Amino acid sequence: MAQAGHSAHSTQLSSSTGNSIPGITTEEARTPRGRGGIVPVLAFAGIVVAVMQTLLVPVIKDLPTLLGTAPSNATWVLTATLLAGAISTPIMGRLGDLNGKRRMLLASLAVMVVGSLICGFTDNLLIMIVGRALQGFAMGAIPLGIGIMRDELPREKLGSAMALMSSSIGVGGGLALPAASLVAQHADWHALFFGAAGLGVVSMLLTVLFVPESETRAEGSFDLLGALGLSAGLVCLLLPITKGSDWGWTSGTTLGLFAGALAILLLWGVMELRMAAPLVDLRTTARREVLLTNLTSIMVGVAFYAISLVLPQLLQLPKSTGYGLGQSMVVAGLCVAPLGITMMFTAPLYARIAAKYGPKVSLMIGMLIIAIGYGAGLALMSAPWQTIIVSVVVGAGIGLAYSSLPALIIGAVDPSETGAANGLNTLMRSIGTSVSSAVIGMVLAHTSVAMGPVSVPSMNGFRTSFMIATGAVLIGLVLAVFLPSRKRTATLSRPVAAGDETAAPATAASLTGSTDFTGFRGFRGRVLDAEGAPVPRATVTLIDHRGRQAGITVADTAGDFALAARSAGTYILAVTAAGLPPLATPVSYTSVDELVAVDLRLGATVPAGVTH
């Protein structure tokens, strides 16, 4: 690589009002990014949209009567939400990367409110399905919220915040069960939808008041053909998974849709690889850390949904079965609610584990706890208090696992791809829950026993379901073992506030001398003064060829820094430090797999050389 050096006249940045860096406004240089209300508001939005998935669980057995249709038709009310949620997550993530994440978050919530109102005023099956699909469309809020946190929060708050946002899927689902049960038991069932609309409006107002629009934008345009192709492929894939038990797994419809899904997704993949600005960057998705994280997410999704399907039924079955616990709808919901509550409280624990050992370790610990919970659940099914224990343990494990997933994804993709990448990861979880619903539903149906004129799930079916969940999470644990360990240096590439010294690494050890950079892609080096002495806590900014901020960090107390750059091209490394003149130097990054070493010397006529 050519020497990166030039005269002080061309490298030093100054203005009449003080030092400045291209790509960073004066306000950004003074004020840490993010506001105090971002985390709770975005977490609340995540909980609200997650409620849509379990909103009708308390009345699911009554839907055929309420809608005046056959049971097989009534299940479309649930299937529509699932399909719409799966389709919307990667699409809304990409739209957020292109057009602004807060804008798309508000759009998602607005669509959910409209869908809720449609459902609230109808008893017609087709109109209800349309409304429920619009409700499910709001699932795109999860990756959008994670992306906003990535862009707006200081590094030291990002881990626990993303953990809470990621866990909101389970928190909303868990808390919705007792609340929806209470409403359904004491009011008209349409009140569920009006309540959902109210929550959506509140979430929109809070978002407008407390969540700023992210300035990070991806290049290119929206891939409409890619969105249509992915939507068609997902419908053909998820429809037979969710309806296979009704249609028959060997029926022509089921097999035809699976074959159609395979063909469509293969053609879609070929098309995406040829697109300049694809909906999903498949090359990034194929990276080991991204691919394995997404596959692990499917297994976690299977494990999460299993407990939601089994425990409510076990709790509500009459004691005359010999194993049912004979509890009311509300009590059953309260017994399962700790699943979501525990997930919420594991976010701070995740942040501590991930800060010390990395998100890979916290993911593996979480999955191990899930396996223990399900294993214990095989024996703890004879009293309501036992189901609460199982919910708490499994909830703690799922909370840790879900919290780890976005950190693993964010550490492996460019900041401009955050929304789309987390959208795809959320989709993988949705596929896991769909598979779980189909497989466990089939198991419970085939192991049911006759109780008078009706058939009910058997204890053998419940235990088999728990064993399937245990097997899935153990497969996920094996996949997680092969994830690359996240190096401490990789976290330094997280954009932080310029001049925010609290974001600097606590260690004084030299990054360039003592840290393993295997797997790290980008620039690393040391900030030095004119005499060659290290400059601690200097702000180092990476600026792309368009003059936009591509990364920012604060050097440690030994002057060492590391910044990720995951696309080849020409950049500028700009550095400022108290009491020293600022510096900017061009650097080249020719391969996405290289590590470029560059020392930045403040006050000298030329910066130190750049080497690989």
pLDDT digits (tens, 9 = 90+) for 13-37: 333 333 333 333 333 333 334 456 7
State residue 19's pLDDT score: 35
Instruction: Report helix, strand and coil shares of the chain as percent, to nearest 5.
Output: 65, 10, 25
Tokens 């009311």 appear where?
328
Pairing of strands 600-601, 522-528: parallel
Say how many Å lie between the first and final Cα of the chain, rounded. 8
Q: What is the mean pLDDT of the chain?
A: 77
pLDDT digits (tens, 9 = 90+) for 350-378: 777 877 788 888 899 999 999 999 998 88
pLDDT band for 548, please (50, 70, 90 cuts). low
For residue 263, being part of any structural domain is answered with no
Contact 216, 368 (CB under 8 A): no
pLDDT digits (tens, 9 = 90+) for 298-355: 898 888 878 877 888 888 888 888 888 888 877 887 888 788 778 777 767 777 787 7
Taking the C-alpha atoms of residue 493 and residue 516, their distance in angstroms, rounded to an integer, is: 15
Q: Are residues 15 and 155 in the same domain?
A: no
Taking the C-alpha atoms of residue 4 and residue 541, their distance in angstroms, rounded to an integer, is: 16
State residue 107's pLDDT score: 93
State the sign of the Cα–Cα–Cα–Cα dihedral 497, 498, 499, 505: positive
State residue 409's pLDDT score: 80
Q: Are residues 477 and 591 in the same domain?
A: no
Q: Are residues 15 and 53 in the same domain?
A: no
Query: Is the pLDDT at 506 greater than 70, yes or no?
Result: no
Query: Which two three-digit tokens encode residue 393?
Result: 């343990």
pLDDT band for 519, please (50, 70, 90 cuts). low
Residue 574, helix vs strand vs coil:
strand
Tokens 């009449």 appear where?
16
- Mean pLDDT, range 405-434, rounded to an integer: 73
pLDDT digits (tens, 9 = 90+) for 136-147: 888 888 888 888
Residue 528, helix vs strand vs coil:
strand
Angle made by CA atoms 505, 530, 25, in degrees to the nearest 5? 55
How many domains is the chain partitioned into structurally?
A: 2
Give CA 426 to chain center in angstroms. 5
- Mean pLDDT, range 602-610, rounded to an integer: 55
Beta bridge partners of 528: 534, 601
Taking the C-alpha atoms of residue 302 and residue 376, their distance in angstroms, rounded to an integer, is: 18
Q: Are residues 316 and 376 in the same domain?
A: yes
For residue 2, being part of any structural domain is answered with no
For residue 239, being part of any structural domain is answered with no
State the sign of the Cα–Cα–Cα–Cα dihedral 135, 403, 482, 435: negative
CATH number of the CATH domain containing 47: 1.20.1250.20
- Mean pLDDT, range 219-232, rounded to an integer: 83
Beta bridge partners of 23: none
CATH number of the CATH domain containing 15: 2.60.40.10
Q: Are residues 412 and 358 in the same domain?
A: yes
Q: Are residues 357 and 463 in the same domain?
A: yes
281: which DSSP letter?
A: -
Taking the C-alpha atoms of residue 517 and residue 597, their distance in angstroms, rounded to an integer, is: 11
pLDDT digits (tens, 9 = 90+) for 36-66: 678 889 989 988 888 887 788 777 777 888 8
State residue 114's pLDDT score: 96
pLDDT band for 534, please (50, 70, 90 cuts). confident
State residue 333's pLDDT score: 76
- Mean pLDDT, range 397-413, rounded to an integer: 80
For residue 379, being part of any structural domain is answered with yes
| Stretch among 81-85, 168-172, 537-541 having the lowest mean pLDDT | 168-172
Neighbours of 151 (CB within 10 A): 21
Q: Are residues 80 and 172 in the same domain?
A: yes
State residue 183's pLDDT score: 81
Beta bridge partners of 451: 454
Taking the C-alpha atoms of residue 304 and residue 469, their distance in angstroms, rounded to an integer, is: 8
Q: Give the DSSP H or E segment for 259.
A: helix 252-274
- Mean pLDDT, range 385-389, rounded to an integer: 90
Closest CA to 581 of 553, 559, 603: 603
Domain C-terminal end among 488, 503, 533: 488
The one-letter amino acid at 459 = M
Contact 122, 190 (CB under 8 A): no
pLDDT band for 419, please (50, 70, 90 cuts). low
Residues 422-433 as b/e (b if ≥16 CB within 10 A, e otherwise) read: bbbbbbbbbbbb
- Mean pLDDT, range 482-499, rounded to an integer: 46
pLDDT digits (tens, 9 = 90+) for 103-132: 999 999 999 999 999 999 998 989 999 999
Q: Are residues 124 and 13 in the same domain?
A: no
Q: Are residues 454 and 602 in the same domain?
A: no
Dihedral angle over CA of 103, 107, 108, 114, nearest 10: 160
State residue 492's pLDDT score: 36
Query: Is the pLDDT at 445 greater than 50, yes or no?
Result: yes
pLDDT digits (tens, 9 = 90+) for 253-300: 999 999 999 999 999 889 888 887 777 777 777 778 888 888 998 898
Pairing of strands 580-589, 454-456: unpaired
Q: Are residues 529 and 426 in the same domain?
A: no
For residue 230, being part of any structural domain is answered with no
For residue 311, being part of any structural domain is answered with yes
Query: Is the pLDDT at 606 greater than 50, yes or no?
Result: no
pLDDT digits (tens, 9 = 90+) for 75-114: 788 778 878 887 888 888 888 888 888 999 999 999 999 9
Look at 403 and 462; give whichever has higher pLDDT.
462
Dihedral angle over CA of 395, 398, 402, 407, nearest 10: 110
Domain range for 394: 34-223+275-488
Q: Are residues 67 and 22 in the same domain?
A: no
State the sign of the Cα–Cα–Cα–Cα dihedral 293, 299, 301, 304: negative
Query: Is the pLDDT at 425 greater than 50, yes or no?
Result: yes
Domain C-terminal end among 466, 488, 510: 488
Query: Which two three-digit tokens encode residue 158?
Result: 């990002």
State residue 11's pLDDT score: 34
Look at 514 and 112; give whichever has higher pLDDT.
112
For residue 353, being part of any structural domain is answered with yes
Query: 518: buried, middle or exposed (CB in 10 Å: 19+, 13-18, 0-12)?
Result: exposed
For residue 3, being part of any structural domain is answered with no
Q: Are residues 13 and 62 in the same domain?
A: no
Domain C-terminal end among 488, 519, 554: 488
Phi then psi dihedrals of residue 451, to 5 deg:
-130, 90
